[in-house]
Structure 1
Amino acid sequence: MQVKHLLLIATLAFVTACSSKGDKVDENLSESQLYQQAQEDLSNKSYTNATNKLKALESRYPFGRYAEQAQLELIYANYKNAEPEAARSAAERFIRLHPQHPNVDYAYYMKGMASFDQDRSLMARFLPLDMTKRDPGAARDSFNEFAQLTSRFPNSRYAPDAKARMVYLRNLLAAYDVHVGHYYLKRKAYVAAANRGRYVVENFQETPAVGDGLAIMTEAYQRLGLNELADSSLQTLKLNYPDHPSLKDGQFVPREGDDNSRSWLAKATLGLIDSNTAPPTMETQASKDVMKQYEDARQQIPRELRPENQDDGSEKPDTSGKKSHSWLHYLTFGLVD
């Protein structure tokens, strides 16, 4: 990691630590006063202060008239304050304490939303990261949590949105497995690559990654000399995905080159170091489709549920002819622009 990135992380951590404490809660406030002030903080988008007051309300008046509502509001405040782990913990606690509450479906939904946005951390908004190549743990958690909501409360007002996000998450998980298959191809682990490609085809039907899975199977079987299986996979690919990037004029083009085309340094280090010029990045169709679906899903999130520092793409371009610098440029003294 470059020095400027380390300085950026340190600066952001320092600023976050200085601004995360919030105001001290008056010990003489009544239950209704605490709740009212917490509501005002939520309206003013002072989520840290709202969180402190809601926690104080629950601890001071655990059996009061606002206790259960405060627990629900705490889930929302943590989520809006970009604290997904705290939001998930608050949601799990509410579900455990109030499984029959009329608004428990909201807790299930927000638990899934917290996992859904967990990868959209503060650093992920500034650094170019391909989510289809990242650890899919949070995506799997979010999918399972939305699945619980839709199975337990099929008529919930949150079920349609949860189902739409499950489609996106399923595509994301499939694209991740495609990247794993390509990694095995690059490392000449052809049996593992073929198995991963077959797993995608068998378990992620109706996703954009199925074509990529067939392409991985075709290449892996060709490398293994299993021509019958390779021809079967290739014919299925041509029939269902004639425009797949691996097909050029109806002919299959392997993603990875032959061993003879690699340098001795690449062979000696199992591909970790290659003195040859790196080929252009081949973005899979699944990656393109998943990223597009993510952007579409992100734009459809209700504005009141978006974290405050999430970029919504509404910044206007500078037409003055002068080079404009972002706040990040000034904050890091020009190290990051």
Structure 2
Amino acid sequence: MVSARVLLAAVAVTSLAACSEGLDKFNPFADEKYKPEKVVDTPPDQLYNDGLARAANGNFVGAAKKFDEVIKIHPHSAYAKQALLMSAYANYEAGAYDDAIGSAKRYVTLYPSDKDAAYAQYLLAMSHYSMAPDVSRDQEQAEKAGQALNDLVTRYPNSEYVKDSKWKIQVIRDQLAGKEMEVGRYYLNRRNYGAAINRFRVVISRYQTTRHVEEALERLVEAYMAMGIVNEAQTAAAVLGHNFPDSPWYKDAHTLLTKGGLAPREDKGSWISQAFGKAISLN
């Protein structure tokens, strides 16, 4: 004998089914019944080779997806390690620099002594380098690129990427110095001499090998003369004349001092003199 509870349950189910059928006419997706999707477990070698083929055809977005599938679906396979490096490469070529940075950074972290670690570090640096804007904008990416390139030169000094890295480091240093000069000029034009001096000081202290150091010294002469700190103005001009005697910036600095009845004179105790002394000793 069927219990009352079972009968009630059967009635409830029947009622729900009938109600559901009645509401289906208001449901635009009623004809679309859910069907569980069967996931095909593609072998890692097939995914990896598919990624290589796509990369060879210039489809780097598709290639990166295949390499990432290897990493996600077969993380412990023999192909996962190389797929991680290829993911960095494909994403870099596709212009997906953030993704390239993620894969490259993970590769260097997991395999710092691997034969391809230097290449992964280079891809990491170049991704930041490619995102670095001009001097009119924030230089965070340029700074990160410089740090990544310095790490490459330090960790992998015998790498084939060292020569290019050193050249790019100088390019980045010049750009960072240019940004400091741009801000320094801004403050100088608005007679905020203290803020301007701080910017020019950065150029002289950190970026002496860049093309901006001559102007930075001359701008210091302008700022210090405007503030009446003639000793530092004379020192800046003297250091500029000693290191860059043929520079047009020295001629401007000398003319500015002359108009004030002064001449270049170096104070060895000045931070300007000491900054250049340290640079000479380091070289």
Deviation of 1:247 after TM superposition, in Å, equals 4.1
Counterpart among 245, 248, 251 of residue 244 in structure 1: 248
Counterpart among 207, 211, 214 of residue 214 in structure 2: 211
1:168 maps to a residue whose letter is V
Hey, what's the Cα distance between the residues in 1 that align with 2:40 and 2:179?
Answer: 50
Task: Give the number of equivalent residue pairs.
Answer: 218
Aligned-residue Cα RMSD (Å) equals: 2.1
- Alignment TM-score, normalising by the size of structure 2: 0.71
Structure 1 residue 53 and structure 2 residue 56: aligned? no
- Alignment TM-score, normalising by the size of structure 1: 0.60
The answer for the alignment partner of 1:177 in structure 2 is 180
Instruction: Check conservation: 2:221, 2:237, Cα contact below 8 A.
Output: yes
2:185 maps to a residue whose letter is H
Q: What does residue range 272-283 of structure 1 map to in structure 2 within 5 Å?
A: none
Identity among equivalent positions (%) equals: 28
2:129 maps to a residue whose letter is F
5+ residue gaps in structure 1?
A: 1-25, 121-130, 254-337
Query: Which is helix-richer, 1 or 2?
Result: 2
5+ residue gaps in structure 2?
A: 1-38, 258-283
Deviation of 1:27 after TM superposition, in Å, equals 3.5
Structure 1 residue 154 and structure 2 residue 167: aligned? no
Query: Per chain length, whose mean CA-contact separation is higher, i.e. which structure has more relative contact order (CA < 8 Å, sep 6+)?
Result: 1
Instruction: Check conservation: 2:177, 2:207, Cα contact below 8 A.
Output: yes
1:55 maps to a residue whose letter is D
Q: Quick one: structure 1 residues 158 and 228, their matched pair in 2 at CA, closer, same or farther if it must change by over 3 Å?
A: same
Hey, what's the Cα distance between the residues in 2 that align with 1:97 and 1:39?
Answer: 22
Q: What does residue range 81-160 of structure 1 map to in structure 2 within 5 Å?
A: 81-119=94-132, 131-160=134-163
Instruction: Check conservation: 2:48, 2:70, Cα contact below 8 A.
Output: yes
The answer for the alignment partner of 2:224 in structure 1 is 221
The answer for the alignment partner of 2:81 in structure 1 is 68
1:139 maps to a residue whose letter is A
1:80 maps to a residue whose letter is E
Instruction: Check conservation: 2:240, 2:250, Cα contact below 8 A.
Output: no
The answer for the alignment partner of 1:194 in structure 2 is 197
Hey, what's the Cα distance between the residues in 1 that align with 2:216 and 2:256?
Answer: 14
Larger radius of gyration: 2
Deviation of 1:245 after TM superposition, in Å, equals 5.4
Hey, what's the Cα distance between the residues in 1 that align with 2:256 and 2:54?
Answer: 60
